[in-house]
Chain A
Amino acid sequence: MVHKFDAIVVGAGGAGLRCALELSQHNYSVAVLSKLYPVRSHTGAAQGGVGAALGNEEPDNPEWHFFDTVKGSDYLGDQDAIEIMCEDAVEAILELEHFGLPFSRTPEGKIAQRPFGGHTKNFGEAPVKRACYAADRTGHMILHTLFEQCVKNEVRFFNEFYVLDLIMDGDICQGVIAFDLATGEIHVFQAKATMLATGGHGRAFSVTSNAHTYTGDGMAICFRRGIPMEDMEFVQFHPTGMRKLGILISEAARGEGGILRNREDLENIGSGKDGFMGALAPTVKDLAPRDVIARAMYNEIKEGRGIEGSGDTGSDYLYLDLVHLGAEIVNERLPDISHFARTYLAVEPIKEPIPVQPTTHYAMGGIPTDIEGRVLWDAKNKVVPGLYAAGEVACVSVHGANRLGTNSLLDIVVFGRRGGKDMVRYINEAEFGHITGEPDGFIRGEIDRLQNGGGTEKVVDLRPEMQNVMMVNSGVFRSKESLTKARDTILELRQRYQKIGIQDKNAYFNTELVEAIELGFLLDSAWMIAESALHRTESRGAHSREDFPERDDEKWLKHTFIHYEADSKVKFDYKPVTITKFKPKPRVY
């Protein structure tokens, strides 16, 4: 089946819906394709808040936000993009409020704000209340509010349509190929402009806060089509995942005063006294950026100060202590995470500390775009006409080497909106192209191979192997040795993937087939992560090389672009970091 729309949005999370909303305000036909129902998107799992220097609770300033984000990014973020994001932030948040988002309120009735990791006043002086929140369901409320507005504007949704490929006419994107999960049919969607907002690749790792559906689809689709990926080595590990499960305990828990405790600190539980972060980051303590805390936690565990004292970073853990906050704050401002702790760990956070360990959380890298969301062919800013990307799948780059908490939700609303605006401009000028040949031929072949190729390898064997090798060897700490092992294992798994076979032959809701396709995308993402991490011989932000522990601005103050060359072969090129106001400095908190 062939469909024709002026614009197509792939993915119905915050970035996709914000973009669709922008497009729907004009007289163009828009379709949103998602492999889920929109409200199932992972934006809904974001908890703590969305950053904007509204200054509702105390004086704040977009320039301070700009500085914090640059510093948080370990100076790898492009400062022109960051400045735009921090300045657009105020308007974007007020707009969300106007759309009906039920923010928590200050006593004066304004949008309430809370402190968050890495956000400070006056260029690093002390923590500042910048995260606008709706209890600990900020992402949920953003997702639902945007969906509601799309419903109001009668946006056309194709739910459970899994986009598997781009339609390229030479250098120009002409739309996408999608697989209808309900019927197993392949659909061709022709469009003048296509927005990819498909999210990250957290499921390439074994412990993750990400949804099962977070499988790096958009990145792999582009990579296979010759579009490079930017800064793939930077994967954020969130300090406080629930032990073993990886389910996120929002940074808001520490924003409200939660403290991390090790084994030597057990008698201080409930006292509100500083924990080990007090000594490591004297100004911001437990509100240091995520990379800093995740590394500190790994070190605590490695040195035997984990709660079990085993030194094993895989199974040992630390405590997040909320006891001193009291029942009122825990129940009213952190209701969801308290509920998680009770349900999954049988821990009552008002009385006991919560066992936590770092969990794979966010992809800083992704499809390279400019500040209008246009996808780039190379490090020299050559645009892919008709193709846009926003949100976690994209790399603008505003997060650089490490994303600050609350900036992901900000990223999706700011750049979803900007992308939408530029798409409107582009649609106005562009004509529909010609689709020649069989644009869906490749995908039909792939699906046929998976379903009827008689392969003997199983998804269930390959997937955990990939996830474990990535977690152990391409996790919080990395080295040449570990990354080589990760890369080689992934390449081997990619070979085995060619021989995969599935049991389910049914056309309707063939979830086994979907999982096999997702695994293929994940393997590509994992490959790019391992190769890029191996390539970058320095430590910066979330990328910590034990063999290169220092940041190396001389050699590495630049973005890496990884290109697909051939099976098991990639090549790199580099793009300089845009530096406007803040010259790189050592990063201390």
Chain B
Amino acid sequence: MSSRGSSAWLLQRVTGALLFITLGTHFYLYHYFMGPGMWGFDSIGFGATDLATLKAMMESNPEMAKYYKLAHLFAAPLWKVFDVTFISLGTYHGFYGIKAIIDDWVTHDGWRSVANWVVYICGVVLWVMGIVAVISFNPELF
């Protein structure tokens, strides 16, 4: 398989399909769990700590409740792996999508490659930012 257009096309479909799943999970976690919900993934031990400790910490310092929740997820190795995957899929799919739009709209070969490079660099920078944020998050609260 060459890297002309066919593999990129296929990859865009594969990442799209995977995002369907990962984005659903992300939504659940960061909107339901971070919001009113407590029960779900953490109860089977996927978080950085057990639920009882988290609850106790949240009650002791309500101002910090949300941060504790975030840390509970963010610091856990499993969710780090998940977030790295999710960010990679998201930035690839998103920025490749922008590149596809540029390929359509920008007809001049020179401008097209300039625009594509800008998109490529932005994508990589953002991806690195995201990965660094996820990996480097180690607050040791628990």
Report if A and B touch in the complex (beta carbons < 8 A): no
- Residues of chain A touching chain B, judged by Cβ–Cβ distance below 8 Å, are none
